[in-house]
Structure 1
Amino acid sequence: MLFCLICTDKPDALELRLANREAHLKYWGEAACVKIGGPFTNDDASVMNGSLLVIDVADRAAAERLVANDPYNKAGLFQHTDIRAWKWLLGPQQ
């Protein structure tokens, strides 16, 4: 089942994001469930300020566990996280 994880950083948290970025990328790489993902940015892409991941997991509980253990989440980076079931309709599927 596909879920979108829409995560919004706390204001002025770029240093916290950068300090935990390597662990975050390693965590999701090892989870082996990400279909697409990347950071939200400001309009000129100079500052990362959130994350979007589309993950393929068994159910919402699995998605919630993964979010709870994300190094970004554990570090307190996110102001808000939205987990939404999603159906892939457009674009190439991998």
Structure 2
Amino acid sequence: MLFAIYCLDKPNSRTLRLETRAAHLSHAKAQGDSIRLGGPLMTDDGQDMVGSLLIVDMPDKAAVEDFVRDDPYYQAGLFEAVLIRPFKQVLPAPD
């Protein structure tokens, strides 16, 4: 089942994000094909990261919550808010 994970960083947390980025990326890459799409949310000028957006394919919301809780960004206290919602892909049409 597909889920969207939308995370917003706490204000003034650029340093924390950069310090934990390598560990976060390793955690994400370890999920293999479960992550369909992922990357940082950016400021309006595109110059700085302010959050994360991922589309994941996992068995249920509990699995997604476990994935998020194990993320080094989450464990470091980077996020001000995390929203997890089931997602239905319409475009491009799924195989």
Counterpart position of 2:31: 31
Structure 1 segments, 4+ long, off by >3 Å, are none
The question of 1:48 aligning with 2:49 is answered yes
TM-score by length of 2: 0.95
* Alignment map for 1:1-94 (pairs within 5 Å): 1-32=1-32, 33-91=34-92, 93=94
Residue identity (%): 44
| Superposed CA offset, 1:20-52 (max 9, x none) | 000001101001211001100111111100000
Structure 2: how far apart are the matches of 1:92 and 1:9?
Answer: 31
Shift in Å, 1:91:
2.1
> What is the alpha-carbon root mean square deviation over aligned residues?
1.2
Instruction: Give me the TM-score of the superposition, normalised by structure 1.
Output: 0.96
SS in 1 for 2:5: strand
Where does structure 2 lack aligned partners over 5 or more consecutive residues? none
Which consecutive unaligned segments of at least 5 residues does structure 1 have? none
Question: When the two structures are aligned, how many residues end up with a matched partner?
Answer: 94
